[in-house]
Structure 1
Amino acid sequence: MNNSQAFLAALRAALPPSSVLSETEDTRPYECDGLSAYRQLPMAVALPADEAQVLAVLKVCREFNVPIVPRGAGTGLSGGAMPIENGVVLSTARMNQVVRMDAYARTAVVQPGVRNLAISEEAAQHGLYYAPDPSSQIACTIGGNVAENSGGVHCLKYGLTVHNVLRVRMVTMEGDVVELGSEALDAPGLDLLAAFVGSEGMLGIVTEVTVKLVPKPATARVIMASFNEIGAACGAVAAVIAAGIIPAGMEMMDRTSSRMVEPFVHAGYDTGAAAILLCEADGTPEEVEEEIARMTAVLQGAGASAVQVSGSEAERLKFWSGRKNAFPAAGRISPDYYCMDGTIPRKQLARVLLGIEQMEARYGLRCANVFHAGDGNLHPLILFDANKPDELQRAEAFGAEILALCVEVGGTITGEHGVGIEKIDSMCAQFTDAELAAFSAVKRAFDPLSLLNPNKAIPTLNRCAEFGKMHVRAGRLPFAGLPRF
C-alpha cells in the first residue's frame, strides 16, 4: 500500500463511507471554483457533517502531511478553492443547519454551509434579514462569505461580511477549537475576528458563524439615472456622497453592460446612455421619500439626462435584476469572460474607467464595467474567447494592468473576491517585502505546518522578485527563505 492509499484508508476510517470521494468522476465537480480557467483534480474530497468530523479530517491530514483546501459552494472568482495536487478538498456543504435565531438580539447562529439567502429567508418570519448580498447569494454559503469578506449591492450602507459577523467558531490545523469575537459588544483579547474574516481559508476551518440581522425596511425605492458621459456619472457618485447621503445601494453600469444585460432581463435600461446609476433608498416611507427627492436633485445637478424612480416593489426588483444578472448575461455575447475585482477612491472612478477604455483598444478585447460605485469596488468583465490563440493570456494581462492602475490611484487589488491564485502576482505590485513578511508571519502563527490552502493569496518574496516588482539589493533578497504559502 503506497502513501496515498494509506491516507485514503485512514480518511475513510475517520468518516462515514459516503463522506469521502476519490474517484475521478466524483472529484471532477470540485476541480475549480468560479475561476474555471484554472483546474486541478484533488486526491480526495472530504464532506464532514459536523465539527467532530472536521477535526477528524484535520487529524488524518496532519498525520500524513496532506494539504487541505476549504470549500464552500465554489462560487468564488479568484481560484481560492482550487484544489492542490495530492491534497484534500474539505467541503462544508453538509454543515448546512441554522442552529439558532434570536429575533430579540437580532442574531442568527448558522453552520458554514448555510446559503447566504437562506439566512434572510429564515429570518423573514421575524421581519429581519441578513444584509450582505453578493450576486451569488442564492448559492454562496456563509462560510465562503467569511473566507472572502463578501459584500454585495447593499454593502455601501450596511457593510461587508466583516461588519455583519459577530463571532466565528473555527478549528485550527493543529486541532484546536477557537472562538473569535463574541455575541456581546466586545470580546477580550486581540481582535482576531477581523483578521480571520477575509483570510481565504488559510488560517482555519469555519464550523459556526454568528451574524447580525437587521430589520427589513418598511419600504425601498430605487432611482435609475442615465448619463451621456462616463465622467458625469462618476461625478454624480461623488456628489451624492458629498451631499451626506448614504444610499442603501449605489451601482453603476456602462453602455456595454446595459446593452449586454437588457435583452437578457428586460429591466428597462437606457441602452443609449454612456452609463446608468442605480441608487436605492430604504427605511420608513417618509425617510425614503425625502432621500429619493434629495438624490434626484443631486443627480440632475450632476448632469443626469434622465431620472426614473421605481413606482412599485416589482419595478424596483426589475431595475436591480439587470445588475444582479450581469455576469450570466455576459455569456450571451461572449464565449468567456474574466471578472476582475479592484477597489479605488471614488474620486478616481472616471480616471480608471477611461484608462480601462484605452486598455480595450490596446489588448483588442471588450470590457463591460458593472460595479459597486458607492464604495469604488470595480468589477470589470473582460470578454474573450479561450478557443482563440492567446486571448486568455491577453485577458489576464489586461486584468493585471487594471489592478496595477487601481494601486496607482491609491486603491487595492481586491474588494471582495479575494486574491486566491488569480491575483497573487498583483500582491507584489501593492505590498512591500516587509508587509508580505508580516502576512506570512500571521499565516505561520495560525498554521505552522502550512497545510491550509498553501500557495494562495500570499506570494513568496522570491516570486515577487521574479515578477519584477521587488528591488533586490546586492543580489540578495531579504527573507527569501520564508516558507511557501
Structure 2
Amino acid sequence: MSSSNPALPDRRAQVVAALLARVPAACVLFAPEDTRPYECDGLAAYRQLPMIVTLPTDEAQVLAILAVCRALNVPVVPRGAGTGLSGGALPIHDGVVLSTARMNAIKRVDHLARTAVVQPGVRNLAISEAAAIHGLYYAPDPSSQIACTIGGNVAENAGGVHCLKYGLTIHNVLRVRVATIEGDIVELGGGALDAPGLDLLAVFIGSEGMLGIVVEVTVKLVPKPALAQVIMASFADVVTAGNAVADVIAAGIIPAGLEMMDRTSVRMVEPFVKAGYDLDAAAILLCEADGTALEVAEEISRMSAVLARAGATAITVSQSEAERGRFWSGRKNAFPAAGRISPDYYCMDGTIPRKQLARVLAGIAAMEVTYGLRCSNVFHAGDGNMHPLILFDASVPGEFDRAEAFGAAILALCVEVGGTITGEHGVGMEKIGSMCVQFGRKELDAFFAVKHAFDPCALLNPDKAIPTPHRCAEFGKLHVHHGQVPFPELPRF
C-alpha cells in the first residue's frame, strides 16, 4: 500500500505482529482491500484508509487490543455499525479501528425487571425483537435502527422519532460496562434507579468513543402500547407548522412522536415509500398518540383541536396499524429518499427551543438563496432537533464547500437562538469547528480535563469532538461574524 508516510508500512507491520500475538488472526485486518470498507462512517464526504482494523469477539480481546495500542502508542478509533453521520468513526491514518460489530450477543432479557443485557454490537431493533415475546420493547428508535448498534447509540446518545415521550439513549440505559485505555473494566450506573458515587454514566453516554470502549450495556425495556395512532396534519406554510408544534406542547400534550417534514421532503419521499402524504402541503406534522384505546382517543381528539386552531389545512388520522407504519416509514426513509432528487446531500443536526422553530426555518429559507443550494427540512419537531438536508452535487466544483458553509451557518443560527450544535448525531469531525462557536476556552478546557481523566495518553478517538485552541483560531479566521474579532480570548498562531 502506498503512503505519504514512508515509515507507515514498517509501523503497520510492528503493530500487526503485536496484535497477532494477542488475538486470533481473524480479528485483524490490514490489507487495503480489507480495510477499505472502514474508511468512513455515514458521513462519506470524509474518508481515510485505516492502518489496521480489529474485530474482537469478546471483552478479553478488547482488552488485549487496547494493551497493544497503549504499549505502542497507537491511536484507537472505536466503531459500531458505521451508521454515524458526523465522522465520529473516521479512521486515523496511523491508527487502529476497533469495531465491536462481532460482539453481538443478547445475554439475557429479564421481563420481570424489564431490562436487557446486551453486547455493544447488538442492533437497536434486535433488542425490541428479542423482547417482543414479553410484550416489551426498547424505546429509542433512530432512523437507522435496523442497522445501528447499541454501542454506537451509547457513543452518540442516539434518539429517534419517539424520543419526545420516551427519551434518548441516556434515559433508557441503566448500566454500561467499559474497557478503559489503561486496561481496566469499569461499570458505570447499575441495576437500581441510582448508583453510588459520581454520575459518570451521564458523562460517558454521548462521549463519542473518547473515554472508553463499550463492552456491555443494560437497557430499560418498556411495555408495548395497546394502541397507537398518528395524525398527519397539513399546513400552508412552514412557519405556521412550526408554530403549531409549540402550540401542541403548550397545551400540555406530550405526543409519543411529533415530527415535521416540509414540501421538498414530502415530495421526495412519497414516490419512494407511498406513505399517503399530502403533496400539496407546504409542510406536514406527524403526531402520534399511544396507550390504551381511551387514552389514544382522548389525545388524538385534543391534538386535532389544537392543530386545527393553529391553522392546519387538513387533518388525517391513521385508521390501521399498516397505515400508521406507512406514515412513519416515510419519515424514517427521508434520508435515502433524498437520492431521488439530488446526487448528494449533507445532513445537519442542531437543536433549538421549540418556540424558535418558525424563526430558524425562515432563516434556513433565506440561506438557500445566499448559498444557492436547496434544503429539505425533516426533523424531530417536538424537541426541536432539526435535520436539514442540504442538497448538492459533489461533481460540481465548489458545491460541497458551499454545502459545508451552509451547514455551519445553520448551526450558528441554532446557537444564536439559544440552541446547540447537535441533538443526536454527535460532533465527530463534522461539527468540531462549530464547537468553537458554542463554547469558550474555559468550557473547552473543562472538556479536555474530563477526557484526560479517562484517557491520559489521548489515544481514544483523538482530534474528535473537542477542538484545540489552534483549531478554534483557524476556524475563527474563516468565520468572522459582524466584523468582530473571533474568539479574542484565544492565542493567535
With the shorter chain as reference, the TM-score category is over 0.9
- Contact 1:200–1:418 (8 Å) recurs in 2: yes
Q: Take 2:12 and 2:244, find their aligned partners in 1: how far apart are those partners?
A: 59
Residues 1:418 and 2:434 are matched in the alignment: no
Give the partner amino acid of 2:235.
F
1:62 is aligned to 2:70? yes
**Contact kept in structure 1, 2:103 and 2:121, CA below 8 Å:** yes
Instruction: Structure 2: state its 5+ residue gaps.
Output: 1-8, 480-485
Q: Give the conservation status (yes or no) of the 8 Å contact 1:403–1:413.
A: yes
1:8 aligns with 2:16: yes
Check the 8 A contact 2:376/2:388 in 1, yes or no.
yes
Q: Which of 315, 318, 339 does residue 307 from structure 1 map onto?
A: 315
- Structure 1 residues 476 and 361: CA distance shift in structure 2, 3 A: closer
Greater CA deviation, 266-275 or 433-442? 266-275
Match of 2:265 among 254, 257, 265: 257
Q: Aligned partners of 2:250, 2:347: CA distance in 1, in Å?
A: 29
Shift of 1:471: 3.1
Is the counterpart of residue 35 in structure 1 residue 51 in structure 2? no
Q: Cα deviation per residue 1:49-73 (whole Å; 9 max; x = unaligned)?
A: 0000000000000111000000000
| Residue aligned with 1:39, SS | coil
The code of the aligned residue for 2:294 comes to E
CA–CA separation in structure 2 for the residues paired with 1:395 and 1:291: 40
Question: Which TM-score applies when normalising by structure 2?
Answer: 0.96
Q: CA deviation at 1:186?
A: 1.0
- Of stretches 458-467 and 154-163 in structure 1, the one that deviates more from structure 2 is 458-467
1:353 matches 2:361: yes
Aligned amino acid, residue 471 of structure 1: F
The match for 1:207 among 209, 212, 215 is 215
- 1:340 matched to 2:348: yes
Equivalent pairs, count: 477
| Alignment partners' CA distance in 1, 2:164 and 2:374 | 28
Moved more, 333-342 or 228-237: 228-237
Corresponding residue of 1:400: 408
What's the C-alpha RMSD, in Å, of the aligned pairs? 1.1
Instruction: Give the Cα–Cα distance (whole angstroms) in 2 for the partners of residues 139 and 168 of structure 1.
Output: 21
**TM-fit CA distance, 1:2:** 3.3
Q: Look up the equivalent residue of 1:80 and give its one-letter code.
A: G
Counterparts of 1:389-468 in structure 2, within 5 Å, are: 389-468=397-476
In the other structure, the counterpart of 1:483 is none
Distance 2:21 2:470 in 1: 40
Gaps of 5+ in 1: 481-485
- Secondary structure of 2:340's counterpart equals coil
Partner of 1:289: 297
In structure 1, the residue matched to 2:332 is 324
1:21 to 22, 26, 29: 29
Identify which range, 190-199 or 224-233, moves more after superposition: 224-233
8 Å CA contact 1:326–1:370 kept in 2: the answer is yes
The 2-side partners of 1:229 and 1:340 are apart by 22
- Cα distance, 1:472 vs structure 2: 3.5
Q: Does the 8 A contact of 2:176 with 2:217 survive in 1?
A: yes
Give the secondary structure class of the aligned counterpart of 1:331. Answer: helix
Q: Identify the residue that residue 221 of structure 1 maps to in structure 2.
A: 229
Distance 1:18 1:53 in 2: 12
The amino acid across from 1:378 in the alignment is M
Residue pair 1:465, 1:472 contacting (<8 A) in 2 also: no
Where do 1:23-422 residues align within 5 Å?
23-422=31-430
Deviation at 1:476, TM superposition (A): 4.1
Aligned-partner residue type, residue 80 of structure 2: G
Give the AA of the match of 1:106.
Answer: R
Residue 6 (structure 1) shift: 1.6
Say whether the 8 Å CA contact 2:128–2:136 is kept in structure 1.
yes
State the distance in 1 between where 2:322 and 2:421 align. Answer: 36
The 3-state SS of whatever aligns with 1:425 is helix
Contact 2:473 2:491 (C-alpha < 8 Å) held by counterparts: no
Q: Who is 1:471 aligned against?
A: 487
8 Å Cα contact 2:12/2:52 also seen in 1: no
Q: Provide closer, same or farther for how the CA distance between residues 23 and 287 of structure 1 changes in structure 2, counting only shifts above 3 A.
A: same
TM-score (ref. length: structure 1)? 0.97
- Provide the rounded CA distance (Å) in 2 between the counterparts of 1:230 and 1:18: 52
Does structure 2 retain, via aligned residues, the 8 Å contact 1:100–1:110? Answer: yes
Among the aligned pairs, what percent are the same residue?
Answer: 77
Question: How far apart, CA to CA, are the structure 1 residues paired with 2:188 and 2:94?
Answer: 31
Q: Secondary structure at the match of 2:228?
A: strand
